[in-house]
């Protein structure tokens, strides 16, 4: 097995572990969102979404992405989905999630990312359009 396959399998296993509920009392929450932004060394994006949990709670949220790095581009995500784990109340959804990643894309693209905020994990996926290239570090903020 090549090193690339080993690292790929390890990354998939880690993402699956991060997206699974950590405690029996956790609720399942899902966010549908839209996000648009740009980057030229400094990365910024804004959007909105709705979080719905399996216990009947729901919350409209504002989303911001702030960061920096060696990054250039402009992008838009129209049909984003976020799945939260480690949540016992919808109030735990809000806050700053640690975010880091390398990215490259042109025209239409799709992607996925897993990030954390304490015990809460957020697995994001979505499709969008635009172009981008670089490595960025920052925060994914839900308000």
Give the tokens for residue 107. 């025209």
As a whole number of angstroms, the distance between CA 36 and CA 138 comes to: 16
In which band, very low, low, confident or very high, does the pLDDT at 50 lie, cut at 50, 70 and 90?
very high
Q: Is the pLDDT of residue 94 over 50?
A: yes
Q: What is the pTM of this model?
A: 0.73
Q: Looking at per-residue confidence, does 103 or 55 come out higher?
A: 55
DSSP the chain: --HHHHHHHHHHHHHHHHHS-SSTT-EEEEEEEEEEEEEEEEEEEEEEEEEEETTS-EEEEEEEEEEEEEEEEEEEEEEEEEEEEEESSGGGG-EEEEEEEEEEEEEEEEEEEEEEETTEEEEEEEEEEEEEEEEEEEEEEE-
Note the pLDDT of residue 131. 60
Mean pLDDT of 105-127: 77
């Amino acid at each position: 097995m090549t090193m690339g396959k080993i690292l790929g399998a390890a990354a998939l296993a880690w993402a699956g572990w991060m997206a699974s509920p950590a405690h029996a009392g956790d609720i399942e929450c899902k966010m549908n969102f839209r996000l648009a932004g740009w980057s030229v060394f400094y990365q910024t994006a804004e959007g909105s979404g709705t979080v719905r949990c399996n216990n009947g709670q729901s919350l409209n949220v504002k989303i911001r992405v702030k960061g920096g790095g060696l990054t250039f581009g402009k992008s838009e995500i129209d049909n984003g989905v976020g799945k939260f784990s480690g949540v016992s109340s919808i109030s735990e959804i809000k806050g700053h999630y640690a975010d880091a990643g390398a990215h490259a894309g042109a025209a239409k693209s799709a992607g996925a990312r897993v990030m954390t905020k304490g015990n809460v994990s957020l697995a994001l996926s979505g499709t969008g359009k635009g172009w981008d290239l670089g490595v960025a570090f920052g925060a994914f903020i839900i308000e």
